[in-house]
Structure formats: C-alpha cells, structure tokens
A and B are shown apart, each in its own frame.
Chain A
Amino acid sequence: MASFLPQFQSIKTSFDHVVLAVEDVTDLWPVVKKGFEERLPFKRAFLNNKTRNPVLVDELPAEFILTTDARLRSRFPQEQSLFWFREPYATIVLVTCEDLDEFKNILKPRLKLIVQNDEREWFIVFVSKAPAHNDQATKMAKKVYARLEVDFNSKKRERCCKLDLHGPDANFWEDLEAKIMECIRNTLDRRIQFYEEEIRKLSEQRFMPVWNFCNFFILKESLAFMFEIAHLHEDALREYDELELCYLETVNVAGKQRDFGGVDRGDDQAMLLDPGRKALTQIVQDDSFREFEFRQYLFACQAKLLFKLSRPFEAASRGYSFIISFSKALALQESILPFCMREVWVITACLALSNATASLYKDGLAAPDVEKEFYRVQGELYNLCRTKFMRLGYLIGYGSDIERSPVNSASLSMLPWPKPAVWPTLPSDASTEVLAKEKMVLQESPRPKHFGIQRKPLPLEPSVLLREANRRRASLSAGNVFELFDGRPNSNDSSGLVSPLPKGNAISMTRNLSTPGGFEGSIDRPMRLAEIYVAAEHALRNTISDENLWKSLSSIQEFEQKYLDLSKGAANSYHRSWWKRHGVVLDGEIAAVYHKHENYDIAANLYEKVCALYAGEGWENLLAEVLPNLAECQKILNDQAGYLSSCVKLLSLDRGLFLTKERQAFQSEVVRLAHSEMEHPVPLDVSSLITFSGNQGPPVELCDGDPGTLSVTLWSGFPDDITLESLSLTLTATNNADEGAKAITSSEAIILRPGRNNITLSLPPQKPGSYVLGVLTGKIGQLRFRSHSFSKGGPADTDDFMSYEKPTRPILQVAKPRSLVDLAAAVSSALLMNESQWVGIIIRPINYSLKGAVLYIDTGPGLRIEETYGIEIEKHDVRSQNRANLDNLPGNPSPLSEVKQLTLEDGKIKLPDWTSNITSVLWIPLQAVSDGLPKGTPAGTAPQRQSVVDGLRTIALKLDFGVCHNQTFEKTIAVHFTDPFHVSMRVVDKCNDGTLLLQVILQSQVKASLEIQDALLDLQDGFAHAGKGDGRPASSFFPLIVSPQSRAGIMFSICLSETPAKDDERESCPDSILNIKYTISGSRNLGAHVPVAEELTGPDNHQAGHLTFRSALVLQRPVLDPCVAVGFLPLPSSGLRVGQLVTMKWRVERLKDPEENVASENLDEVLYDVNVNSENWMIAGRKRGYVSLPTKPGSRIVISILCLPLVAGYVRPPQLGLPDINGANISCNPPGPHLVCVLPPALSSSYCIPA
C-alpha cells in the first residue's frame, strides 16, 4: 500500500473541502448554479463526530461538481474505498418536467436508475420553470412535483424539494441546505464507520509480523483528513494522537532495526511545524517510517490542527514536551547524526515553535492561568534554545564570552558534551584559523571583578573539553599527554595562576607546533584547544543549513547579539508567567552583557532587580555573586547613594562569603565616600551592619529629673575599625506613643571595633516612664547613617537583615516624681532661748544617694548661727528616737556614733560622702535671740502662757543634691525656743510686821533637768527685802533640781518700803527682776541642753557653767496705797442697744496726795485716755484729755463719754486709762466690766403698727 502514498499526499494537498455531486438530468445546472453556489460555504452545520455526538461546525466549505466532471470519473474501485473521503458526500438530482406523461414515461425510469445506487446519499430538486402568471403551467408543475414526491419520498425520508425559478422561493434554500446537511451527515457517519472498522481490523494485528504500519497510517490519516475537511478538527487531532501513540508503540519494537533518518541536508532545521517539508515517500523506507521525519510530521499535523482550533498555547506546551522527548531520541542516535545535530535541531525547533505560537497567540485569548502557562512554556523554549546556543558557542571558542554565572553554569555544566562517533577533525587548510583562535584563547582574560574579588569561576563545561574531544578521536588512545600542550585547559580556571612567563612559553610552543606541515600530524597527536574549536566550527558549518543560525555563530558580536535576544526572549516570557524568579535571574544575564559593553545604566537597573530578588528572600550566596557587579555599575554611573547602599549590603552579607581583604575594600569605599564631598548626601541605612542593644540585666533606673549614663552595646559588622563622627540614639517611651522619641547624643567621635563595642552615653533628664531603644543615628564623615536593627545581644543574624524587629525590653526606667530626701528637726521639744543650742536636722535620704549634696541654711529672724563653733554631723541613731526599741534591746549598747566636724561656708555645708546613703543628723549651733524679759504672772490667775509664736524660730533649708545637683529639696523647719522656767508668784502670807512672804513658782519648760544654783530677786521700788536683805530666798537649799515639766517654789520675804531706791538703775526699772543661776543637763537629742559654749569649755569651770535666767515680776502694792481710784458707774438698766447712745461714766477719786516722785507741774490735772475698739464703738467727745482733779484727797470727778455701740453681742466696753499714773497707784473700784452685752437694734415698728 505504500505505493499509494504519493497519490495520498497529492490528494491531501489538493483537496480540502466536501464534494457534492450534481446530477444534472435536464440541463438545469447553468440556470441554478449561481443560486446554489451562493450558499457556500455552509454556515452553522451540525455534523456528528466520531462518537455520534452532534457538533456545530461554524463554516463548512463545499463544492458542487457535476457528475459528468472528470474529477468524479475514472477512479479505480480500490482507490475509491481507500480515499473515500474525497468521494461526493451527496448527490443532488436536478430535474424539471412540465408534463405528467413525460415524467411517467421518461423521467421517472431515468431517475430510478440514478438513485438505485444505495451507497450514495441523494435527493431530487425539482425546478419549476413555470412563470408566476401562467396558472396553467404552475398547476402542471405542481402536479408533476406531487407525482415526484409520491414516487421518491419514503415514509422515513423526504427526498424531494421544489425550486420555483419564477416564483417565491422562501423556503427552498433552507430546505435544500437541510437536505444537503442530512446527506453529508449520513455519508460521514457511514464513512467513519467504514474507516473505523478497517482500522480496528488492522490494529488487532499490530503486534503480528504481517502488520504494516503504512496501511494503518493511510487509513488512520484518511480518517483524520476526512475529519479535517469536515472541520471536525478536534476529532482529527484525536486521530493524529492515536496515530502517534501507535507509532511510538511499534516503532521501537526490538529486532526491527530501522533507519532513524535525519542525515539529509537541511534536516538540522526542525520541521515540527511544517508537515509538507518532506514528502511522505521520503519518510518511508521499506514500509516503515523513519522516526526522525515521521515524528516531526505527526507533530506538525497536530500543531496545524491546534492552530486551527485557536489553541496556540496547547501547541506550545505540547511542542515543548515534544522537543524534550525528541531531543532524547536524538541523543540516542547522536553517533550517526552529524556533529551537534541535536543541539542545532533543538535551537531551530524552539525558535520555530515559539515564533509560530507567539504570532498566533493574542493576549486575552485564553484564561489568565492558561496565559501564564503559555508564557512559561515560551520562556522554557527560549531558555532551552539559549542553553543549546551557548553550548554551540562554547564549542567554537566563544566560551570566554559566556558569563560564568550560576544560571549558565547550571544549564551548561550539567549538559553532557555532544557524543559524535568521532570528534570532528581539523581540516587541512585551517592553519590560519587555528592561529587566530589561538590568539583569541591567549588573549582572553577574565574581566577583573570590582573590589578585587577573586572567585573560582563556575564551570560551564561538564568535563574538560580538551580531554573529552581527544578521547573521542578515533586515532588517539586515551592519555593525559595532551594536557601538557596547553597551559590553559580550562580557559578561565587558572588564569590567575599563570604568570606572564609561562604564557609566553605557551605561545612560542604553540607556534612551534603550528608550523606549516605540522597539521598533518594532528591526526596522531592530541588536538589543542584552538584546534578543537576550529574543528568544531568546521563541523558545525556542515551541520547547520540555516543561514541565520550560522550567521549568529559566525562572529563574537553576532553570537552575543543572538545570546542577548534569546535571553531577553526568555526573561520577558518568564516575567509574564508564574516563574518570576527565572525571569529575574535571566535579567541578570542580560545585565551582564550590557555591563560588559559598558551600558551601565541598563545593567544597573537589571542588576538591581536581581539583587532585590535575592536579598528579599535571603539567598545570600547568590546575592554575593551579583551585588559587586551592581556596585561597580553604580560606581561608574556615579550613583553614590546606590553605590553606598550596595557597599553596605555587601558588608552585611554573611562573613564567610567574602574574604577579609574584600570586606575591607568595601569598607574603605564607604569611608572614602563618606569623607568626600558628596553632591547629594544621602542617609545611609546601616541596620544590617551596626546593630545595638541595651546591656543585659534590668533596665537603668533613674529618678525623675536625674541625668544618667546609658551603656549600650553596639555590634559593628565592619571588618576594620570605623570612626563614627557622632552618634545618637533615640529612646522611645513605651507608655506614650505620641511623644516623639528623644535622642541622646554622643558628640565626640567614637571608634567602633569590629564586633562588640560598649558605648556609654550621657543621658539628660527624662520624663518619667520606661523607655526602649529606638533608632541609632550618627555620622560617618559627612554621611548620616541610621540603624533600626536591634540585636538580641549578639551580632545581627544575617538571615533576617531586612526585618526590623522592635525591641521590647525597656532599657531605661525613669521613676515618677517622689520625695527623695527628707529634712526634719531632730527635737520636738523646746530649746533654750538666748543660749547657743544645738539644733539637729535629720537628713534622711529616701532610697537615693546624697553624694555631693550641699545644704544651704538660712536662719530666720531672731535666730543666728554661732559661727564660731563648728557644725557637727553624725549618724542618726533611730533608737535614741525610739525608746520602745531601745527598751526592747537593753543589752545592745548603742554604738558610739561618730561625730564629724563640718564647716559652714557662705551659709552652705557640703555633706560628707559617707552620709550619702544613711540618715544623718546635722547639728548646728544656733542662738535664738529674744530681747524682752519674760514676765512672771501672778499665781492663781489663769497661767497666761507665753504665746507659742514668741519662741518659734524658723530655719530655711535647701538641699542641693543628685548626680548633677539637679535635685533640690527645700524645707523650712520650725524650732521652738523657750525660757527654762515659767515664773509665777503670789504673796503667800502677810505678816503682822508688814513682811510679805512672796512665793515664786518656777515651772520647768524644757525636757531637761535644771539645777538651780542660786536665785536673787531684785525688787522694784516700794519693796524691800526683809531680813538679811541680800535678795536671796528665805531659806537656802540650793542647788535645787527641777525635773522636766515639774515645778519648784522659792520663798522670798519682802516688805513694803517707803524709801526710794538708792541706785539709779532701780529707778529705771519699775519691775522686780528675778535672777536665777542654774545649770542644765539634757540631751540635745531630746531638747534643751547645755549651751554650746559651755559644753566646749568643759565642766571643770564650774562657775562659768552657770546660766542666768532673768524674769521680771510685777509686784503690786496693797490696795490702800493707790492714790487714785477709778470706778465704773453702772450702765442704764435698759441695757445697751446698737445705735442707741449711751453715756459711759467713770468716777475718778483721789485717794491721797500724789507722791513726790510723780513729778508734774499740773498736779491738779489728770490725763485720761479712753481705750476703745473703734470697730465696736463710736465715741463722741474727747478720747484723750486732761481733767482737773484737785490734789486734795477725796476729790472726785466723773468722766463721761458718749458712746454708740456699733455691734451687737458681748463686746469689750471702752476702758479708761490714766497714762500718767503708774498702774500700781490705781485702784479700780468698782472694776469695769470685761464685757457688756449689746442688744441688736430695736425693730423698726413704724410699719407694723396698725393705723
């Protein structure tokens, strides 16, 4: 059957639509042809597919062919069945008849003859030529047509339709189309059934020796082709798939050694999209198909159908798998194929497939995920093509132009070398080319990397090419001798090691070897690298038939251009797919090419993408490969900001990735830029490089307002010391987010050593709260840097150098304001007035050091510091204050507290350091000054205690303390001073001899034991001492000890004397003065004590130890003695009322003559003075004046004053005083009232009285 193949192929190429036969019985075709052909191609046809399911075919092309046409005649029956698909799918019989008889006799038998062939699908079109207006003719035609229908229609099927040439034809064409479709459908069904049956029969014999794939193929493809012309592409595709499966199943049956194919010129160009490239006859050999051509043919047919189905994405993905699997098949046959046939084929296949699918694919054609998948496949195709292309380039010596990147290394070093049966040999006339290549090989030197980074280049070759090529040469036995011939077996590998001298040797040596005539020997000796390149180039030239591809390999420039195109194609496709990483990585390869060609701008952009990808996911090893390139581009582009950040990133990469020398180079670049005048200084983020943390342990605790120091650990990732011009660190309050972070700054330069550094920063006073570390900023040279990275007590983890983790542990806690110290007086009881006394001030620090504290002392009025004496300080003994404690611990002797002397300078005292944390007492010698003499009071009367205020003195204290004397504590302390005694007296008894016994009662007012040594009473005029008259008490029992708070009495005997005092002093002193000499023994901790001066002089000087207390006593002469009596006359009985005038009357009566000592010219006049509270009383009349009072005893006068009470209540009435007369000489009889009752004003009744 193979002989039918050419015919089959020619039919296939010339035939592409359904044929409909027209049996023109009565020469009507020319008349109706136009109308019929206008219906073509058929729209919206419903056909049945192989599984008998209706399929909508949008457009079905067809052709009407007369049965008399040559194309439908003269076919052999066998041909007919084999190529049945090209037989007519329907037979349309065109008839017309105007006469019933004619129909019966002539037409009907003829028609019966035509339609008797049951195999054909037929129907009759009756054409009525009757004009519309001719009823006769129309009637006739109808009759004939009716007859026709009766004769040819069956119950199952109508086979007639009628076309009125001159009448309305509304339904005819639909009817016609429906009938044609029915015929086509039926024919198709029958033919499918036929083919299937045949195919089934054949495939049953598939594994039998008689089986012939060629027959199977023709049947199968005929069926597929029939589907294709019926536009049932889906079914056609399925047939091809089955065909391919069947082929692959049977092609490699063992024992059948077949020719693989692919050795013809031009086979290197893939024909996987071109089914017609090779005639089927060329594919077939001995009844079997050559795999190389036939598999491509099958795929081409499939692809064609897929394109027709608008599924280029499916074509692409099927194509990719096809290429991969076909490439494997090629690999198996590599020894019989031309050199590098496999690589070339893959390149052309990938390019053809990707171009074809891309041109047919329109965006939005498919669902988004299908689109992504499509672009992924496109990317894969480009990438595969790129790999193979690089391999070819490497083989002909362009290896040095291929970037030794991880991508290229991954694709090339895992890809085995081509395995030809024999490695191509060097053509004899290639000496000049070898020389040129050699020169090229020798000249190539790896581009030095920026920063002097040296790395072992990644391999691009699975094994050393030199060895591989020589091993595959037929004439050479294995050996390593060849390696001696070329110093550079692995072009880039050892470049760093080869010094210029061996290089020169190599050149001379190769020159020697390549002298003319030397090439003949190349069969026997191992080939050198340059020779391998040249040989490969020649072999490739034979293999590659595609001019464009060859051109791309012809020169380095062309090679690079193609390489760039392929890389770009792959990258762009990947970018539109899911595989972003693939795309970005290839961008890096594109960047490398631009970089090499000094197109730094584009290169930098692309490199940045790559770096961002690697950095974002923490692939540091890969990043370390690309980042130096980016840095170099940025440096050349003068992108200082970018360059700096790249350098910083390089420094922050894992330490193991770079040598110390290289890291130092990075740092020196940073420092160089930082100190240069940058045009646009940029803040630098060194979070990955300098990290910081507070010290371990609890946070620093500060009191409010205190400055402090903060110790911070910095980790420097720089390989060398680096100087930071300034450094500041922000503190963020944890409790108060609104408030901006405050920076603490160290202005002096700090040199950071690599690794851990401890930095101490001074901390200005902060608000209360707890603080965490915020941001580290500072300057390196002119450059500001920031670091957000908080390290947890170790160097920054390189893993997460992009994540800024906020520290949560507080580093500093500033306490809320509280009292830090307390000052208090050490005693609560009174001290001695007018004596120098120790005043104790308790200084109690409250959990706060008073180191360096200074106390300012400012005494208030009436108090002065005895500066001549030192100031003492001692530890405060709590037990002395707390008796209860002391009682509980009787056996524990109170430790002698050490007393230190201090001096007062300018009113301030510097407290010693040892007191900084303990409660101490500061003893200050003070003397309260009181001018007046204390007055004794008559006993029995309510003891008019001295006003407390009188003895109160204040000391204003100010304590400056804290770390920087920033804390101040001010307090005013009140200290109570008092006289030792309160003196009262009474006349105890009045003897007959006129001697009065005067008892003086001394009430101790201090918490100290007083010892009275002596008492002396200086009497006022009019009194004299009875007895000895030395002024001493009547009985002497001194010393008299007065315990605290107790009383003592001293008795004096005195008498009235008429004689005036002799001394002048006496005259001036109207009061009696009590002088008491006493000593005091008391503790200064409790209250009054021995005055400072006494204490200092010591107890031996007994006399000097006596203190003197003076108190004035007023003694009144007896009642008869007064020379004037003042009597208050009774008030009116009606009482006093506010607003009611009242007359106050005093009667003044002279009792006896005025005494001589009352020297006055106007003895008959008396000065009076009404003492009144003006708020309560209004006085009418003279308040003060003279009234005449005769000197004769018994003379009297009444002084009347008109008064008006102003306030209701008990008020003090006006008092009459006689200022000129001594109080002792005035007797009040009757005495005036202390208070009078003043009634409220009388109600005004004028409105209340009824008229």
Chain B
Amino acid sequence: MIVCLAVVGHQNNPLYIQSFTEADDALKLHHMVHCSVDVIDERVDNPKKSGPTINETFLGLLCPTENYKVYGYLTNTKVKFILVTTDLDVRDADMRTFFRRFHAAYVDAVSNPFHVPGKKITSKTFAERVATIVKSFGLTTTG
C-alpha cells in the first residue's frame, strides 16, 4: 500500500505531500520523505555511483528498510517525487509506470497558469487525480 506521496521542490522544499494512511501520523511520513531527500542528494551529487542511470528519472529504491520502502523519481527540473510504500515486493516496472503517470499529473498541475512555480500545489484536481493513480496502483499490484 502506498502510504505517502510527496513532491519536493528543487530547493528540497515540500511542494505537495499527501499521506494515504488512516492513522493520524502524517508527521512521521513527512520525516521519512524529508530524510529520503538525503539519499536523492547523495545520488545526484555522486553521479559515479549511480552509473548508467544518470539520465534516468526513476531513481529506484532509496531506503531499503525492513518495513517500508521509499522510491524516488527526479524530474528534469530537479523536482523530486518520493513515494513511501509498505508493499515490500514491488516490481520496478510498476513503480516506473506509476511515477510516469504521476509525473504527467504533476506537469498538468504546474501548467495551471494560476500555479506559482516553486509554491505548494494546492489544486484539488491534482489531489483527486493523484488519489486515483494511487488507488489504481494498489489494484494493479495486488490484483
């Protein structure tokens, strides 16, 4: 299950962060996302390590912890998408597809002339669309 989805700006500021848990514990997810930025920074700053994937937007698994996984995605404008999931076996291909769809939604949201670049995304349409994407992700992986 995807528990959290975040968009982090190129100055590492949160632009959109949405948790999909029922418990009132969004703060810990904020923390996870925030700390994951460390990993993305590390990869971006050390292109040597990431090797051939340098030009790829999908960053793959960021934090392989025992209990949850964090995936990252970096757009060309250095905006980061971070996803926290409790599914422990997710195929990378699914993740890629998910992020691609999410990226499309993001691009639509920031193309809104009323959106100020670098500011939080407050669009309801975006939120709804993201919720749909998240929901459908659960379906494709479990079903």
**Inter-chain contacts of A448 with B (CB < 8 A):** none
A797 to B117, CA, bound (A): 13
B66, A799: Cβ atoms closer than 8 Å = no
- With a cutoff of 8 Å between Cβ atoms, the chain A residues found around residue B24 in the complex are 456
A456 to B26, CA, bound (A): 11
B1 to chain A, nearest CB (A): 12
* B87 CB, nearest partner CB in chain A, Å: 12
Chain A interface main SS type:
helix
Q: Is A964 an interface residue (CB 8 A)?
A: no
The interface bits of chain A over 395-420 (1 if a CB of B lies within 8 angstroms of the residue's CB, else 0) are: 00000000000110111011110000
Interface: B27 (CB within 8 A): yes
How far, in Å, is B93 (CB) from chain A's closest CB? Answer: 23
Which of B37-45, B102-110, B132-140 sits within the interface? B37-45
Please report the C-alpha to C-alpha distance between residue A456 and residue B23 in the assembled complex, in whole angstroms. 11
Per-residue A-contact encoding for B106-130, CB less than 8 Å = 1, 0 else = 0000000000001110000000000
Chain A, Cβ-Cβ closest to B33:
A619
Closest chain-A Cβ to B22's Cβ sits at a distance in Å of 12
Q: Name B14-43 residues within 8 Å CB distance of A.
A: 14, 23-32, 34-35, 37-39, 41-42
B86–A414 contact, CB under 8 A? yes
Closest Cβ–Cβ distance, residue B121 to chain A (whole Å): 11
Q: Which residues of B contact A797 (CB under 8 A)?
A: 119
B11, CB-defined interface residue at 8 Å: yes
Q: What separation, in Å, do the CA atoms of A614 and B37 have in the docked complex?
A: 12
Flag whether B98 is at the interface (Cβ < 8 A). no
CA distance A39 to B119 in the complex (A): 74
Known: A410-B32, A456-B24, A621-B26. A579 touches B38 (CB 8 A): yes
Among B23, B29, B67, the residue within 8 A (CB) of A416 is B67
Q: Is the CB of A745 closer than 8 A to any CB of chain B?
A: no
A829 at the interface (CB under 8 A from B): no
Taking CB as reference atom, which chain A residue is nearest B32?
Answer: A410
* Cα distance A328–B67 in the bound complex, in angstroms: 10
Q: Are A617 and B119 in contact (CB under 8 A)?
A: no
Check A1014 for interface membership: any CB of B closer than 8 A.
no
What separation, in Å, do the CA atoms of A712 and B39 have in the docked complex? 46
Interface presence of B75 (CB below 8 A): no
Q: How far is the CB of B143 from chain A (nearest CB, A)?
A: 24
In the bound assembly, the distance between CA atoms of A407 and B32 in angstroms comes to 8
- In angstroms, Cα B120 to Cα A617, docked, is 13
Q: Do A585 and B66 touch (CB < 8 A)?
A: no
Kindly identify which residue among B14, B37, B45, B66 contacts A324, using a CB–CB cutoff of 8 Å: B66
Query: A617 to chain B: which residues have CB within 8 Å?
Result: 11-14, 34, 37
How many whole Å from B36's CB to the nearest CB in chain A? Answer: 9
At the interface, yes or no: B97 with Cβ under 8 Å from chain A?
no
- A1137 contacts partner chain B, Cβ-Cβ < 8 Å: no
| Bound CA–CA A328/B66 (angstroms) | 8
Chain B residues whose CB sits within 8 angstroms of the CB of A614 once the complex forms = 34
We find that the number of chain A residues with CB closer than 8 angstroms to chain B is 33
> Is A458 a contact partner of B27 (Cβ separation < 8 A)?
yes
Assess A582 versus B13: contact at CB under 8 Å? Given A369-B48, A797-B119.
Answer: no
Chain B: CB-nearest residue to A342: B66
Q: Are A410 and B38 in contact (CB under 8 A)?
A: no
Q: Max chain B CB contacts within 10 Å: which of A580, A581, A800?
A: A581
A29 within 8 A of B: no
Chain A residues with CB below 8 A from B23, complex form = 413, 459
- Nearest CB in chain B: distance from A1172 CB, A: 96
Contact A578 B45 (CB under 8 A): yes
Cα-based distance from A579 to B64 in the complex (angstroms): 15
Inter-chain CA distance A350–B29, complex, in Å, is: 25
Determine how close the nearest CB of chain B comes to the CB of A799; give it in whole angstroms.
Answer: 5
- Given A578-B42, A579-B38, the answer on whether A415 and B67 have CB atoms closer than 8 Å is yes
Query: Is B46 in the interface zone, CB < 8 Å from A?
Result: yes
Interface residues of B in 60-81 (CB under 8 A from A): 64-68
**Considering residues B41, B66, B86, which has the most beta carbons from chain A within 10 angstroms of its beta carbon?**
B66
> Given contacts A415-B66, A797-B119, A799-B118, is CB(A410)–CB(B13) below 8 Å?
no
Which B residues are CB-close (under 8 A) to A411? 65
Give the nearest-CB partner of B68 in chain A. A414
Residue from the set A406, A411, A458, A614 with the largest chain B CB neighbour count within 10 Å:
A406
- The CA of A413 and the CA of B42, in the complex, are separated in Å by 27
Q: How far is the CB of A1021 from chain B (nearest CB, A)?
A: 105
Q: How far is B40's CA from A580's CA once the two chains are assembled, in angstroms?
A: 12
Q: How far is the CB of A386 from chain B (nearest CB, A)?
A: 13
Chain B hits for A1139, CB < 8 A: none
CB distance from A657 to the nearest CB of B (A): 10
Which of B45, B86, B119 touches A799 (beta carbons < 8 Å)?
Answer: B119
A575 to B39, alpha carbons, bound, how many Å? 14
Tell me the complex Cα distance, A580–B12, Å. 13
Q: Is A1011 an interface residue (CB 8 A)?
A: no
When the two chains form their complex, are residues A581 and B68 in contact, meaning their CB atoms are under 8 A apart? no
Return the chain A residue nearest B26 by Cβ. Answer: A621
In the bound complex, residues from chain A placing their C-beta under 8 Å from that of B11 are: 617-618
Q: Which residues of A contact B67 (CB under 8 A)?
A: 414-416
**Is A409's CB under 8 angstroms from B13's CB?**
no
Task: Tell me which residues across on chain B come within 8 A of A413, comparing CB atoms.
Answer: 23, 25, 28
| CB of B96, distance to nearest CB on chain A (Å) | 24
> Which chain B positions have C-beta within 8 A of A700?
none
* Extra A-B contacts (10), CB below 8 Å, given A579-B35, A618-B14: A376-B42, A407-B31, A409-B27, A578-B42, A585-B34, A585-B35, A617-B14, A617-B34, A617-B37, A799-B118
8 residue pairs from A and B, CB less than 8 Å apart: A369-B48, A376-B42, A406-B28, A410-B28, A456-B24, A619-B34, A622-B27, A799-B120
User: Measuring CB to CB, which residues of chain B are less than 8 angstroms from any residue of chain A?
Assistant: 11-14, 23-32, 34-35, 37-39, 41-42, 45-46, 48-49, 64-68, 86, 118-120
